[in-house]
Amino acid sequence: MVAKIVTTAVKMLYKTDPEQITTNAIAEKAGISKGSIYQYFANKDELIDAAIEQLAKEQAPLIEDMLRSVTLQEPRTAMQSSIDILIDFTIANRKLIRYLAIRPDQVRTFENVSGLNATLLAMTTLHMSHYRDQYRHELSPRALAWLFFNMAVATTMRYIEGDNPISLDELRSGLKFASAGLLEGRG
């Protein structure tokens, strides 16, 4: 029963602003009574937390696979592809990401359950170590990876929070231009 409730909530998170999800709507979609939800979850927030944990478990491997496919491409291509993957994922999950952005505890839950940040940083560090001669020598591969990863994530998050302050194409181009500054003599 718990799995059915959480799975229904996850499906709703893909389509509906989390603020607009109600326990009544979850119960209706799951084909159960609202009272059944409260047998397992104290309130809507607890249920949404469980759904976010499930979502993290589902999404992290998909994101990792997409990024793993570009990890050993030459640096400029790998950075540009990574930015496109990040932006596409963020835009596709805009409502959920905006919801999480104002709930640091749930962001930490997502990160802890998925391990995504650590994995992505490790993958980026591996890439930058492999292509060390093509990146700026003033910074270690780990520093380069940290800067790239956080620049891309932070800028994309600001874009989402700022209700598209520039065009999506400008966001893509700007991040790709900025990341090229990490390359040795190619910025």
pLDDT of residue 59: 86
pLDDT digits (tens, 9 = 90+) for 142-187: 999 999 999 998 999 899 888 889 999 999 999 999 999 999 874 4
**Domains of the chain: residue spans and CATH:** 2-180 (1.10.357.10)
pLDDT, residue 110, reads 76
CA gap 158, 164 in Å, rounded: 9
Question: 97-140, pLDDT tens digit by residue?
Answer: 888 888 777 777 777 778 788 888 899 999 999 999 999 999 99
Beta bridge mates, 135: 183
From the list 121, 170, 171, the residue with the least C-alpha distance to 150 is: 121
User: For residue range 8-30, what is the model confidence (pLDDT) as tens digits?
Assistant: 999 998 888 888 899 999 999 99
Closest CA relative to residue 37, chosen from 26, 29, 45, 48? 26
Indicate the Cα dihedral angle 33, 34, 35, 38, nearest 10°. Answer: 130
